[in-house]
A and B are shown apart, each in its own frame.
Chain A
Amino acid sequence: MRDPVMRKRIDRAKRVDSAMTGVFYSVGGFFLLLLLVLAGYIISKGLIDFYPDLLTFTKKGIGNQFFNTVYLVFLSLVISVPLGVAAGIYMAEYAKQGKLTTFLQISIESLSSLPSIVVGLFGYLVFILMTGAKWNLMAGALAVSILSLPLLTTTTKDALLSLPKGYKEGSMALGATHWRTIVKVLLPACLPRIITGVILAAGRGFGEAAALLYTAGQSTNINWSNWDITSPTCPLNPFRPGETLSLHIWVMRTEGSMNPNSAAIANFSSAVLIVMVLGFSLLARMLSKRINKKQGGLM
């Protein structure tokens, strides 16, 4: 190490190394700070502008939109979870190497990369224009289902494929048929992972707006004393227009002149959405942590 040229090069490398370490730390810190500031800003802004009427189910409040959001996501999960899980089972357990499987894989990838506005247009064309219906919650739920199908299918498939082989072999050795093995052994074993996937899909559904622009509609009119399910103002009628929370933010922007509270409504809606997203991702995280612990104990 007496060679001065070599010494110099090593020193230089060390200096560059510590400089780059500093850069990485500051970028990492910057983004953590950005997220904290962003989330904090959205939540505090929503709370500062808060007025009690916001919680009501009237034009001044977001109660109706909140209900629509939850109801729409619920409807979409009722449609997409069985379909997605079944398709995932097919891919993990029955699909043979071949054209059909490759095609299904490509289909799922294409679905997952489709811009949500394009899915919204497809929904508009098929569920609204072709059926001659008005904007309705069901059309919105179907559009959101298309968006969450790939996530649910891949989650189920990956969960099934990651199970230890012993599960299947043990069950089949006891004489159970393949189908019975899937229903009674494999699915229960990967239920937590599937539920995590469902929670993530629900979280995405809450925030979806572009796909609902021309399917669920940009207005809502609910009469909370009307429980005739065929009536267009009954809360539970899935074939009524149902503007969701995230779409409400979009509508408030354009209706600024008409509704004096629009900024406060949009701020509060954003805060509610952020809190919901935080809650859902925390829930999903806790679940997957528990799964890891359980599987860690098994192996």
Chain B
Amino acid sequence: MTSKRAADLEAANGYAKYMSRKGAFGRNLVTACGVFIILLTVSIGIFLIVKGTGTFTKYHHTVWEFLFSADWAPMDSASEGGGSIGAAIYIYGSLLTCGLALLFVTPFSLAAAIFMTEISPKAGSRIFQPAVEIFVGIPSVVYGWIGLTVLVPFIRDTFHAKMGGYSVLAASIVLAVMIFPTITTVAADAIRGVPSDFRKAAYGMGSTRWQVINRVVVPAASPGIFTGIILGLARAFGEALAVAMVIGKTRAFPKGLLWPTNNLTAAIAADMGNSANGGEQNLALWTMALLLFLISMLFIFLIHMISRKGSEKHA
């Protein structure tokens, strides 16, 4: 009897040890995966920095030239330098199209977010939310294709645009439609997060619904709304193919909304495959990618700043 008990105890002990070994293994496994993600991100950053700074170290261009010169004529050979790598046109193209897109879409997004949360929450959650989610899911190439086959001819025929409709306007509209769902969902979440006491207090003092929205709800939700705007901007900045399809890809500053130009992502998408690895043009394109990376980092930083400020205000 006692010997059987001892054996049982032994077995149980062994099992417990086995389980804890297994637990340690699992724990190490998932920790390794976490560390792997960190390493992956860091290595993406390092590769981009190493490749992207080649323009300045290997070919001795200045950062000033890259950012502010419009003279883009890099040499495309494996090691020969001597061209010029001013990317101002591309940078300006990105800034202009994204800025315009934001200008077009922010009022609409905000209104749509308010509609689906404050005005008609029932239709908002049953019809609007799923519709907006479908908007998010539409692949950007499809947006570009629609832009190319519908928007570009439309602009050509209505405004008699010089370059067949390929224009800053077309790119901005495509981007605006693309980032609409991003801004709307984040803004709607922020508005839903405003405590209902705020509304009750405002209504209790005799405010109309518009006054409640305009003076209480939107100001209280503003950190979240700004976060949504920045997320939308980040998406617009990183979009490549949809913009490349409608922007016209001409290397010149646009003379107006109806003129074509080029931007950072479209230039990378179009030229990276044909450039000799390590050549001046190749590295200049990598510098553009590095710039995009730095801009997306800046956006994350801004979002953190906003949320910190927001929580300070509430506390």
Contact = CB atoms under 8 A, between A and B. Distances in A.
A253 interface: yes
B270 to A, nearest CB: 10
B142 A107 contact: no
A214 B23 CA distance: 41
Main secondary structure of the interface of B (DSSP, over half): helix
Interface stretch (B81-89, B130-138, B193-201): B130-138
B179 to A, nearest CB: 13
B33 interface: yes
> What interface size band does chain A fall in?
35 or more
B119 to A, nearest CB: 5
Contact of A210 (B19, B132, B240, B299): B240
Contacts of A25: 115, 119-120
Contacts of B231: 113
Interface in A215-267: 246-247, 249-250, 253, 263, 266-267
Contact of A86 (B29, B289, B300): B29
Contact of A208 (B130, B138, B139): B139
A110 B300 contact: yes
Contacts of A210: 140, 239-241, 265, 269
> What interface size band does chain B fall in?
35 or more
Contact of A111 (B22, B40, B148): B40
B220 interface: no
Given A107-B38, A203-B137, A118 B292 contact: yes
A110 B292 contact: no
A151 interface: no
- In this complex, which of B19, B37, B128, B241 has the most chain A Cβ atoms within 10 angstroms of its Cβ? B37
Interface of B: 19-20, 22-27, 29-38, 40-42, 44-45, 47-48, 51, 108, 111-112, 114-116, 119-120, 123, 127-128, 130-135, 137-142, 144-146, 148-150, 177, 180, 208-211, 213-214, 231, 234, 237-241, 245, 265, 268-269, 272-273, 277, 286, 289, 292-293, 296-297, 299-300
Interface of A: 13-14, 16-17, 20-21, 23-25, 27-28, 30-32, 34-35, 38-39, 41-42, 82-83, 86-87, 89-91, 93-95, 100, 103-104, 106-111, 113-119, 121-122, 124-126, 129, 146, 149, 153, 176-180, 182-183, 203-204, 206-210, 213-214, 246-247, 249-250, 253, 263, 266-267, 270, 273-274, 277-278, 280-281, 285
Given A87-B36, A111-B44, A204-B137, 9 more contacts: A28-B111, A82-B33, A93-B30, A106-B300, A114-B44, A114-B293, A118-B289, A122-B48, A180-B22
9 contacts: A28-B128, A32-B131, A89-B30, A100-B38, A110-B45, A115-B293, A146-B44, A270-B142, A277-B137
